[in-house]
Each structure stands twice: as structure tokens, then as C-alpha cells.
């Protein structure tokens, strides 16, 4: 059972990593708007720099 002395710190480090990732995502504004991106995903072709889909190429 003494393995717990090793496992517990590792677990806590993993959690710390998750929290750090969450902090990064929050500070980057990924949780600012939880409604529009879901709708945006339905739009075709997806807006974004440099991405041109077949359908758009055919259009222009």
C-alpha cells in the first residue's frame, strides 16, 4: 500500500495539469460565448482564414 505515497503526488500533478489547461482555455476566451460556436459549426463552408472548401470554390 505504500505505493500510495507515489501515486497521490502523481495524481495531484495530473489534476494540476488539468487545472492549468482550464486556466489557459478560460484566459484565451474559449468560454466567453457558449452559444454561437455551436451554431457556427453547422455553417458550411466553415469560416476561417485560408480554408476554401470544394463547394466554395465551385461557387466563385
* Residues at the site binding other proteins, with contacts judged by CB under 8 A: 1, 4-5, 8, 11-12, 15, 18-19, 22-23, 26-27, 29, 31-36, 39-40, 42-43, 47, 59
Which CB sits closer to other proteins, 5 or 57? 5
CB of 52 to other proteins, least distance (A): 14
- For the chain, the three-class secondary structure string (H helix, E strand, C coil) is CCCHHHHHHHHHHHHHHHHHHHHHHHHCCCCCCCCHHHHHCCCCCCCCCCCCCHHHHHHC
- Shortest CB 22 distance to other proteins, Å: 5
Amino acid at each position: 500500500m505504500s505505493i500510495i505515497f507515489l501515486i497521490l503526488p502523481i495524481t495531484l500533478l495530473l489534476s494540476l495539469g488539468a487545472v492549468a489547461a482550464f486556466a489557459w482555455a478560460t484566459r484565451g476566451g474559449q468560454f466567453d460565448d457558449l452559444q454561437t460556436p455551436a451554431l457556427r459549426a453547422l455553417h458550411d463552408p466553415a469560416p476561417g482564414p485560408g480554408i476554401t472548401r470544394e463547394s466554395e470554390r465551385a461557387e466563385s
